[in-house]
Chains A and B, each alone.
Chain A
Amino acid sequence: MTTSDVIRNFITNEILHNPSVIPLGDDESLIESGIIDSLGIMTLLAFVEREFSVEIPGDDLLPENFASISAITALIERQMVR
């Protein structure tokens, strides 16, 4: 399963407000569409750190890094090579 798929599954099963958007596309807007809110991001962060053994530093806690599955995947991959 790719990183994007893991993130998609988590958002779909644990966070999603509205099941009618399934399946979520990689570039689907998560914030503007209200799929994830500020607590949703914290939930997602805890999951990402646990699942991928990465630490997301304060500098990267930016809304744009959580704007879509693609953005979240890129954030994780940046942390993994650090």
Chain B
Amino acid sequence: MELTFTEEQAEIRKTIISFAQRELNIDVAERDKAGVFPRGLWNRCAEMRILASLFPEPYGGDGFDFTTTVSIFHALGYACKDSGLVHSLITQVMCGILIHLFASRDQAARLLPDIASGRLIYAQAITEPGSGSDALAMRTTAVKKGDGYLLNGSKTMISNGPIADRVLVFAATDPTKKALGGFSCFLVSTGDAGFSQGKPIEKMGLRTLMNGELFLSDCYVPADALIGREGQGAILFNEVMEWERTLIPACLLGELERVLEETVQYAQEREAFDRPIGNFQAVSHKIANMKMNVELGKLALYHAAALKGSRKHAALETSVAKLFISESLKQACLDAVQIHGGYGYMTEYEVERELRDSIASTIYSGTSEIQANIIARLAGLKPHATTKLS
């Protein structure tokens, strides 16, 4: 299958690939080992307008459609070997999408330019020590006080959390209500009294992405820190997840294509028993699976992108894209390490880092198990009845 990009999309992708291969891959192994966030490269990505693509021009963006934006991140995932940096950029764009979809015009005008330009770093805080996949079991509260809200609680493993200038915090505004109607989203800024950021948590992969804890202790925010309406948090969260489950797989699909290319090249060059190892079916069939998943992944990804771009709701299609592409990438990385043999296990060959990074993709933005639950439900399986009705 050959994807047909418009002339403009193809030109932008070419520019992004050239930029990323030229500038973003220098010292990536050292950065990974040190676990440092490459702020200089983040700024270069911002200068290349990677963060601005989707947002309207009046808000500092470039006003491209969603499919074009997906194609940009698809290209970035392919060409940039620093998956932590890529994830950090997606986190920023996702915060922008949430604000663009749900904030007031005044809020959007005030906040989006700094997101699009990359001047300020944003994070989205949902996960808590006691609630991961069960996101809406969160305990952070926001209680009305005067003209604003008083926030209390803690968040953990928040992408960009330790380095963020602004954080979109989800909190319970009415614990007596069920998840629907009981949660809201607030903008918290570094420097707000009662808000503090923990140090980056060391991780297995995505080591240039900074994840950490956030603490809210009687943190007062004014009324205009509320994003969307009070009680809209759960719906807002689910809607934003659909966009995220399209943008993230775009990068993962690019990575999958890169792993495929690296593995094909190695299988052609490496010889054993007087012939290239790619001539052995035990190797070639693994590569065939990678290629098959790349082609199917393109269909799933751009189908989901087209739906979200036309503002359709697409819980099924986005979960399919996220589950299929992330699991395909993880399997491809495992196979790539196996095909590279002993060299694949050495850090000198990059498939070792790619495998570590790929494992995270089946956990963040909803684990593979959560995606499967959503798909099963949308395939017609009824949820467990938790409420007895008279």
Given the complex, which residues of A lie within 8 Å of B229, measured CB to CB?
Answer: 62
- Interface residue? B313 (CB, 8 A): yes
Given the complex, which residues of B lie within 8 Å of A35, measured CB to CB?
Answer: 389
Q: Would B238 and A38 count as touching, CB distance under 8 A?
A: yes
User: What's the least CB distance linking B234 to chain A, in Å?
Assistant: 4
Given the complex, which residues of B lie within 8 Å of A78, measured CB to CB?
Answer: none
Q: Would B235 and A38 count as touching, CB distance under 8 A?
A: yes
Shortest Cβ-Cβ A-B pairs, 3 listed: A34-B387, A63-B181, A46-B313
Q: Would A41 and B238 count as touching, CB distance under 8 A?
A: yes
Q: Would B238 and A39 count as touching, CB distance under 8 A?
A: yes
> Considering the chains assembled together, what is the distance between the CA atoms of A64 and B181 in angstroms?
8
Q: Which of A32, A37, A40, A43 has the most CB of B within 10 A?
A: A37
Q: Would A17 and B314 count as touching, CB distance under 8 A?
A: no
- Interface residue? A61 (CB, 8 A): yes
- Contact partner, A17, options B313, B374, B387, Cβ 8 Å: B387
User: What's the least CB distance linking A68 to chain B, in Å?
Assistant: 13
Given the complex, which residues of A lie within 8 Å of B242, measured CB to CB?
Answer: 42
- Interface residue? B41 (CB, 8 A): no
> Considering the chains assembled together, what is the distance between the CA atoms of A31 and B313 in angstroms?
20
Chain B residue nearest to A48 in the complex (CB): B313
- Interface residue? B385 (CB, 8 A): yes
User: What's the least CB distance linking B192 to chain A, in Å?
Assistant: 25
Q: Would B235 and A37 count as touching, CB distance under 8 A?
A: no
Q: Can you pick out 13 interface pairs between chain A and chain B where the beta carbons lie within 8 Å of each other?
A: A18-B387, A20-B389, A31-B180, A34-B387, A34-B389, A37-B178, A38-B180, A38-B238, A39-B315, A43-B315, A45-B313, A58-B236, A61-B235
- Interface residue? B146 (CB, 8 A): no
Fill in one digit per residue for B17-45: 1 if any A CB lies within 8 Å of its CB, else 0. Answer: 00000000000000000000000000000
The size of the chain A interface, using a CB distance under 8 A, is 30
Q: Would B180 and A41 count as touching, CB distance under 8 A?
A: yes
- Interface residue? B377 (CB, 8 A): yes
- Contact partner, A39, options B228, B312, B314, B374, Cβ 8 Å: B374
Q: Would B101 and A58 count as touching, CB distance under 8 A?
A: yes
> Considering the chains assembled together, what is the distance between the CA atoms of A32 and B236 in angstroms?
19
Given the complex, which residues of A lie within 8 Å of B232, measured CB to CB?
Answer: 61-63
- Interface residue? A21 (CB, 8 A): yes
Q: Would A17 and B235 count as touching, CB distance under 8 A?
A: no
For the A-B complex, the count of residue pairs with Cβ-Cβ distances under 8 Å equals 88
- Interface residue? A77 (CB, 8 A): no
- Interface residue? A33 (CB, 8 A): yes
Q: Would A34 and B380 count as touching, CB distance under 8 A?
A: no
> Considering the chains assembled together, what is the distance between the CA atoms of A17 and B378 in angstroms?
13
Fill in one digit per residue for A5-29: 1 if any B CB lies within 8 Å of its CB, else 0. Answer: 0000000001011101100000000
> Considering the chains assembled together, what is the distance between the CA atoms of A35 and B382 in angstroms?
11
Extra contacts besides A31-B181, A37-B179, A49-B313 (12): CB < 8 Å: A18-B385, A18-B388, A21-B389, A33-B387, A37-B383, A38-B237, A41-B235, A42-B242, A42-B315, A61-B235, A62-B229, A63-B180
Q: Would B235 and A49 count as touching, CB distance under 8 A?
A: no
Q: Would B389 and A62 count as touching, CB distance under 8 A?
A: no
Q: Would B178 and A31 count as touching, CB distance under 8 A?
A: yes
> Considering the chains assembled together, what is the distance between the CA atoms of A60 and B6 in angstroms?
33
Chain B residue nearest to A47 in the complex (CB): B313
Given the complex, which residues of A lie within 8 Å of B231, measured CB to CB?
Answer: 62-63
> Considering the chains assembled together, what is the distance between the CA atoms of A37 and B388 in angstroms?
15
- Contact partner, A61, options B179, B236, B312, B386, Cβ 8 Å: B236
- Contact partner, A38, options B136, B378, B384, Cβ 8 Å: B136
Given the complex, which residues of B lie within 8 Å of A55, measured CB to CB?
Answer: 311
Q: Would A61 and B178 count as touching, CB distance under 8 A?
A: no
> Considering the chains assembled together, what is the distance between the CA atoms of A38 and B234 in angstroms?
6
